[in-house]
Chain A
Amino acid sequence: MKKQVGLLYSLPQILWLLVFFAAPLCIIIVYSFLKKGLYGGVEPQFSLEAYTALANPNILLVTWRTLKISIIATALTLLIALPCGYSIARSKNQAARLFLVIVPFWTNFLVRIYAWIAILGNEGFLNDILRALHLTTESVQFLYNQTAVILVLVYMYLPYAILPLFSTIDKFDFTLLDAARDLGASRFQSYVRVLLPNIKSGLMTAGLFTFVPIFGAYAVPLLIGGKDSYMLGNIIADQLTKTRNWPLASSISMTVTILTTGLVFLIAMRKPREQKQVFDADPAFLQAVPAGKR
């Protein structure tokens, strides 16, 4: 009886997942195995064409580039978010600082991208300053390249990395850093050898929260990027709206999904490395500890 009641309680959630997650995913899977329609859509006929088309060097290049951009942007985001999260956690004024992290969310995503165009554009704010300082007479081309895309992606996803890092560091016992310094570690060593291993879970979460959405980025490379920063998200949109090859758009989507979930699984399944094994395998150590006491 009780089990059925539990099922009943989870019904809204199950319905939600079915309608908004499972069903669309199924549609994409099915579409990816069908033949493309002449004017978009699909013909109800099995075909592996969409998957063989993935081997296209152009798609492989963009996949590689998407991976590269995502990894660089995620690494940079974590590198910036780590000191931010740390200083918020150690601050006496946590609420106010967290508020500042969240404030950008009040502005629409697209508006924030256009704000960057206003800053980085040829007639933009940054170029105005450079000209006013007589550092340049011509406009410097900041926009429409990979660097600009990475910059704006880092900006966009920084809060998603700061928040989980903050909440993990906030739970960290800072006397451990005192202890590390006391035992001879420099400030830097105390961070690397004591802080980082103890906030691993926060780093993982922050990494996933930034890597996964960046891997599927569409708007940022479209508006900020140029030819060299075309990402998988853009190919999917093009296949859907311009080339009207829905099966190919679906198979690329599947690639994105499989790559990102694969990564999540890898991280989740990763076994914590036990120091125990090192010593178990070490005969000298075993000798030192009498067998009866082990």
Chain B
Amino acid sequence: MKGADVDILGVSKFFGSFQALNNINLSISKGEFFSLLGPSGCGKTTVLRLIGGFEDPDSGSIAIEGKNVVGLPPDKRHCNTVFQSYALFPHLNVFENVAFPLRIRKVPQQLVREKVIHYLALVQLETHALKKPSQLSGGQRQRVAIARALINEPSILLLDEPLSALDAKLRQHMLMELDAIHDKVGITFVYVTHDQQEALSVSDRIAVMNMGEVLQIGTPRQIYENPATEFVARFIGETNVFNLKIISIDGTRIYGETEGLGPLSVEDETEANPGERVLATIRPEKIRISTDIPNTNGGHINILHGYVAEPIYSGFQTKYVVQLDTGMMVTVYRQHANWSEGIPDIEWKDEVYLSFSAADMVIVEMHKQ
């Protein structure tokens, strides 16, 4: 890709006999906020360490700003890392921690002072310059680590689960701040996380990884609304998956059958042929729940019947786990947009109908065993 900042081509990496990465291809554009998302052990941190220069790939190539960097040590690469544990130097105060890269380059004292104060101001820590890292809170240490990583003006900032050590409230706050810093400095951010909410809310694009492979690359909306595989659909948010046997295909409309549930229609593209099996998913918030049989005229609406197995009230919405007649469990979210919806409240063991549009269903690739 032209204008790409990081180009990873066919990279594999082994640790002993364990294959951490299997033929990874990634192209990250200049100025992008790019997230690597996946469960722990999926290889996302290894990708980051490969870009940073802490590991070398066993095969494939890695280019930063068009130059091959394989074999180049970390200090010779134009990228800096914010470590998961922050890795602040305990023997230096905040000022000297941030000044460290400049001291290495023997920048004159006057310039060091100006730059350090500028970057401490960027993360709103200028008043803490004289404290030791041990005197700071988790969020403050985090910000020192960011300032220290930015002061060399790298073209790429690598962030390794930077928020995982913070509590939930602070994490939300730091996420917004990270986004603001990204807007201010305008460089490429490569962000590793296992938290899908984090990735969805700040990323320009996300690469979803599992077991050393990249399963899908796309914008948060693409990843959420159009997951490529069953794993992606299940990992990002919650979803319901139906195992469908295709009866007929009419353009983008697929008619299928699920054992015991009767026919379902899906509007999507598939390379499968009638008679074959595919997986179709529907997000819980796209399903309507009612005690009456819904009106189906004017659209391709699928209707299922079952009982409420578990209603979970959480203030802004209620999550219903509905047991279908076949025994399958389907999750449905109902938003509480209005304090008194005109319909009778749905409770435990109530008989309900679930309805959802064929257009909201997505065909996904089967999860590899």
Contacts and interface: CB of A to CB of B under 8 A. Distances in A.
Interface string B120-136: 00000011011000000
Interface string A121-153: 000000000000000000000000000000000
A176 B104 CA distance: 15
A5 interface: no
Contacts of A176: 87, 89-90
Contact of B83 (A178, A197, A285, A288): A178
Nearest to A200: B91
A197 B52 CA distance: 25
A275 B127 CA distance: 16
Contacts of B85: 173, 175
Contacts of B91: 197-198
B127 A289 contact: yes
A181 B74 contact: yes
Nearest to B87: A179
Contacts of A186: 75
A293 interface: yes
A184 B104 contact: yes
Contacts of A3: none
Contacts of B73: 181, 187
Given A182-B80, A198-B90, A289 B129 contact: yes
Nearest to B160: A175
Interface string B39-75: 0000000000000111000000000000000000111
Interface in A94-141: none
B101 interface: yes
A176 to B, nearest CB: 5
Contact of A182 (B75, B95, B130): B75
Interface size class of A (residues with CB under 8 A): 20 to 34
B96 A275 contact: yes
Interface string B74-97: 110000110101011111110110
A183 B54 contact: no
Contacts of A182: 52-54, 74-75, 80-81, 149
A189 interface: yes
A279 B129 contact: yes
Contacts of A288: 113, 117, 126
B113 A180 contact: no
A284 interface: yes
Contacts of A193: 100, 103-104
Contacts, number: 85
Contacts of B126: 288-289, 293
A62 interface: no
A31 B161 CA distance: 69
A182 B148 CA distance: 11
Contacts of B117: 288-289
B93 A275 contact: yes
A184 B130 CA distance: 23
B152 interface: yes
B189 to A, nearest CB: 15
Contacts of B87: 173, 175-176, 178-179
- Residue among B73, B80, B85, B130 with the most chain A CB within 10 A? B130
A185 interface: yes
Nearest to B80: A182
Contacts of B83: 175, 178-179
A275 B112 CA distance: 15
A293 B104 CA distance: 29
B130 A194 contact: no
B54 to A, nearest CB: 6
B105 interface: yes
Contact of A179 (B53, B81, B93, B113): B81
A40 B103 CA distance: 64
Contact of A183 (B93, B95, B101, B127): B101
B101 A184 contact: yes
B200 to A, nearest CB: 28
Contacts of A280: 130
- Residue among A184, A275, A294 with the most chain B CB within 10 A? A184
A185 B148 CA distance: 13
A142 to B, nearest CB: 42
B335 to A, nearest CB: 44
Given A176-B87, A189-B104, A279-B130, A183 B148 contact: yes
Interface of B: 52-54, 73-75, 80-81, 83, 85, 87-93, 95-96, 100-101, 103-105, 110, 113, 117, 126-127, 129-130, 148-149, 152
Interface of A: 173, 175-176, 178-187, 189, 193-194, 197-198, 275-276, 279-280, 284-285, 288-289, 293-294
13 contacts: A175-B83, A176-B90, A178-B83, A179-B88, A181-B74, A182-B74, A182-B81, A185-B75, A198-B90, A275-B93, A279-B95, A285-B113, A285-B129
Lowest 9 CB-CB distances: which A-B pairs, in order?
A179-B87, A293-B127, A183-B101, A181-B74, A197-B91, A175-B87, A184-B104, A182-B81, A182-B74
Given A185-B104, A279-B129, A289-B127, 4 more contacts: A178-B54, A183-B148, A279-B95, A288-B113
